[in-house]
């Protein structure tokens, strides 16, 4: 090797070294710049400043607990007791929680030595350990109290409203009503409402005990009351779950049926006309380039809300995706198998049926079943927009800003539904394709 060649080799090595060093310094710099951009673009300092951990804790606790409202109407003086403050959860006449006592003076024991008394003439007394006795008087639209000027963080007060938050519960006083919220763990009335004869009965009593309702046997009556529970709406939830799965099934299967023949038009081996191939592929790009949520909004405006609108949105989007996948699978089929079928004198359609379709069936089934599972999740969000399925019930529960235990219930059901669809699609894929995945 000559001196010139050695110099050239050394020069190239130095250039390669400099390039690698530039890349080594450049990639971390780009990543650092990107994270700086994210920091300001997403306003992370503002987000941290707006975060309220107290609200987060309250929301989390509401998802696994319930509250009983003890409400006094300051205009009429009537006192009502209701789970979550709902009319469907109101205690029957003459019944009330065992931690509420008295007639002329209603005494509410929240636990932890916190006592609230509803006195005559819209007066209220509140005993909290380590704090002065709180006295309040509701008159018209105003509330008068003996609270000092410097209040602790757990008390908010004005002449129109007083709010007191304690670990055991909350007290709210306004001119119109006085309310006490007592929290308990669990999902109350999940099985039976207060008007059901099976409320408060043990499972063993229902299964093996004496007949509780003279008109019905225990198991039939208990199942009927649970199924028609007005608070938790189990019957409506089951229907909504079925609607969501049906939405995903119709959209996925409809897209697969439409995409298969279009896939032949987009595959070069089966569509010799370039114009047809290009038009079909651009059609696939168009329908899958617009997200299913956008199609949902457009179709809801055109056809109105409903599960069918959601199924159509999934169908349109997945037609483009399936078309691309199927056309690529068709490009890779084995020509020898087609030629073998053709040698028997088979017509073109028979060649496709016996020479092409069997080769792509594993790809078709695997993709269809995967998208069916994925679309089950998507149908939940789409249903929230179109007004169908479990997504609608989830949105309604969130919008009330108080039924967080129902939100948790629906989320658990959605996760269970997705897990079931995952298992079912895997099982069906193994049966149809002949192997487990």
My answer on whether 280 and 148 are in the same domain is: no
- Return the closest-CA partner of residue 371 out of 425, 410, 329: 425
pLDDT tens-digit map of 296-324 = 888 888 888 888 888 999 999 999 999 98
My answer on whether 252 and 331 are in the same domain is: yes
Mean pLDDT of 100-123: 90
Q: At what angle do helices 307-331 and 357-386 cross, to 10 degrees?
A: 150
Asked, for residue 214, whether it belongs to a domain, the answer is no
- 436 falls in which pLDDT band (50, 70, 90)? very low
pLDDT higher than 60, residue 17: no
Asked, for residue 403, whether it belongs to a domain, the answer is yes
**Boundary-marking domain end, from 185, 220, 246:** 185
Asked, for residue 296, whether it belongs to a domain, the answer is yes
Asked, for residue 213, whether it belongs to a domain, the answer is no
**Boundary-marking domain end, from 164, 185, 206:** 185
- Find where tokens 């509330």 sit: 143
pLDDT at 437 (0 to 100): 43
> Considering its fold, how many domains does the chain have in total?
2
CATH of the domain at 360: 1.10.3720.10
My answer on whether 283 and 388 are in the same domain is: yes
Structural domain harbouring 421: 234-433
* Average pLDDT across the chain, whole number: 83
- 9 falls in which pLDDT band (50, 70, 90)? low
pLDDT higher than 90, residue 361: no
- 276 falls in which pLDDT band (50, 70, 90)? confident
Asked, for residue 409, whether it belongs to a domain, the answer is yes
Asked, for residue 168, whether it belongs to a domain, the answer is yes
The torsion angle over the Cα atoms of residues 247, 252, 257 and 262, rounded to 10 degrees, is: 130
pLDDT tens-digit map of 136-169 = 998 888 888 888 888 888 888 888 899 998 888 8
My answer on whether 271 and 416 are in the same domain is: yes
* Alpha carbon 131 to chain centroid, angstroms: 42
**What pTM was estimated for this model as a whole?**
0.77
Q: How many CA atoms lie within 13 A of 138 on its CB side?
A: 25
More confident residue, 381 or 48: 381
Q: What's the maximum distance between 2 C-alpha atoms anywhere in the chain?
A: 114
């Amino acid at each position: 090797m000559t001196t010139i060649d050695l110099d050239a080799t050394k020069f190239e090595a130095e250039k390669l070294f400099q390039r690698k060093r530039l890349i080594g310094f450049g990639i971390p710099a780009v990543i650092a710049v990107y994270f700086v951009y994210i920091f300001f673009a997403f306003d992370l300092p503002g987000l941290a400043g707006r975060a309220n951990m107290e609200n987060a804790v309250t929301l989390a606790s509401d998802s696994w607990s319930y509250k009983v409202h003890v409400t006094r109407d300051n205009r009429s003086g009537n006192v009502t007791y209701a789970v979550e403050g709902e009319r469907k959860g109101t205690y029957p006449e003459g019944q009330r929680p065992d931690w509420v006592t008295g007639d002329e003076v209603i005494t509410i024991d929240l636990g932890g030595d916190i006592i609230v008394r509803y006195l005559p003439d819209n007066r209220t007394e509140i005993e909290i350990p380590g704090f002065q006795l709180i006295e309040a008087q509701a008159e018209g639209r105003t509330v008068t109290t003996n609270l000092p000027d410097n209040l602790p963080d757990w008390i908010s007060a004005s002449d129109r409203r007083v709010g007191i938050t304690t670990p055991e519960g909350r007290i709210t006083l306004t001119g119109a009503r006085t309310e006490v919220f007592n929290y308990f763990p669990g999902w109350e009335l999940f099985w039976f409402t207060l008007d059901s004869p099976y409320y408060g009965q043990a499972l063993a009593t229902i299964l093996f005990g004496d007949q509780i309702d003279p008109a019905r046997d225990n198991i039939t009556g208990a199942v009927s009351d649970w199924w028609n529970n007005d608070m938790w709406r189990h019957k409506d939830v089951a229907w909504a779950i079925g609607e969501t799965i049906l939405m995903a099934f119709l959209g996925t299967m409809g897209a697969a049926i439409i995409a298969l023949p279009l896939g032949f038009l987009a595959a070069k081996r089966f569509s010799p006309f370039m114009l047809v191939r290009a038009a079909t592929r651009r059609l696939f790009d168009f329908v899958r380039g617009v997200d299913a949520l956008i199609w949902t909004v457009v179709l809801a405006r055109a056809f109105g809300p409903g599960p069918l609108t959601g199924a159509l949105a999934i169908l349109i989007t997945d037609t483009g995706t399936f078309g691309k996948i199927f056309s690529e699978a068709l490009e890779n089929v084995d020509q020898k198998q087609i030629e073998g079928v053709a040698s028997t004198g088979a017509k073109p359609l028979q060649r496709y049926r016996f020479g092409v379709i069997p080769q792509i069936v594993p790809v078709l089934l695997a993709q269809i079943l995967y998208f069916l599972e994925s679309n089950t999740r998507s149908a939940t969000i789409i249903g929230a927009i179109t007004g169908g399925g479990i997504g609608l019930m989830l949105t309604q529960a969130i919008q009330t800003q108080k039924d967080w235990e129902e939100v948790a219930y629906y989320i658990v059901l959605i996760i269970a539904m997705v897990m079931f669809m995952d298992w079912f699609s895997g099982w069906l894929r193994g049966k149809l394709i002949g192997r487990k995945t």
